[in-house]
Structure 1
Amino acid sequence: MSTPHDLSHAQWRKSSRSGGNGNCVEVADLAVNIGVRDSKAPDAGHLAFRPDVWAAFLLAARNGRFDLR
C-alpha cells in the first residue's frame, strides 16, 4: 500500500498545452492531492494541491485569468 508521499505509482503526464520548447509541466493524481512538477527536473520535487484548489486554478486559466496581455 502506498503512502501519501509515495510517488512510486504516480503516473505523471505532460500538460496538453506544453510546446516543443521543453518548458513543460507534468501532473499526476496522487493519493490525496494533485502533483505538479517540472518535466525537465522530475527529481527536483513537486508541488501538491488539493483537488478543489487545482480545479479552481484550471478554471481560471481556461478563462484567461493568467494570460499575459
Structure 2
Amino acid sequence: MHVSPTTWRKSSHSGPEYNCVEAAFLPGAVALRDSRDPDGPKLVLASTAWHSLNADIKAGRYDLRRA
C-alpha cells in the first residue's frame, strides 16, 4: 500500500529524545511507522483494529509501568 509522505502525523507525545510513532490515516485503514526510520517497515491496521488498539492504550492495558 502506497502512503504519501505528506499524510504522516507525529504523535503528540513525541519528543526529541524518544522513539516516535507516526500515523497516516487512510480510507478504511491506519498506517504506522517509526519516525526515525521513515523508509522502514510500516504496520497497516484496519480502522476498526486501530480504534480498538487506541482504546486499549488509553485504558492502560499496555502500560508496562503498571506491570
Please confirm whether the aligned pair reaches a TM-score higher than 0.5, indicating the same fold: yes
Identity %: 40
Asked if structure 2 preserves the Cα contact closer than 8 Å seen for 1:33 and 1:51, the reply is yes
* Shift >4 Å, 4+ stretches: none
Residues 8-59 of structure 1 deviation map (CA, whole Å, 9 limit, x = unaligned): 3651011112233131000001243100000000101200000000000110
**RMSD between aligned alpha carbons?**
1.6
Correspondence for 1:48 among 44, 50, 53: 44
User: What is the count of residue pairs matched by the alignment?
Assistant: 65
CA distance in 2, matches of 1:54, 1:30: 11
Q: Is the contact between residue 10 and residue 30 of structure 1 (CA under 8 Å) also seen in structure 2?
A: no
Gaps of 5+ in 1: none
TM-score normalised to structure 1 length: 0.81
- The structure in which a higher percent of residues are strand is 2
- In the TM superposition, 1:1-69 aligns within 5 A as 5-8=1-4, 11-68=7-64, 69=66
TM, length-normalised to structure 2: 0.83
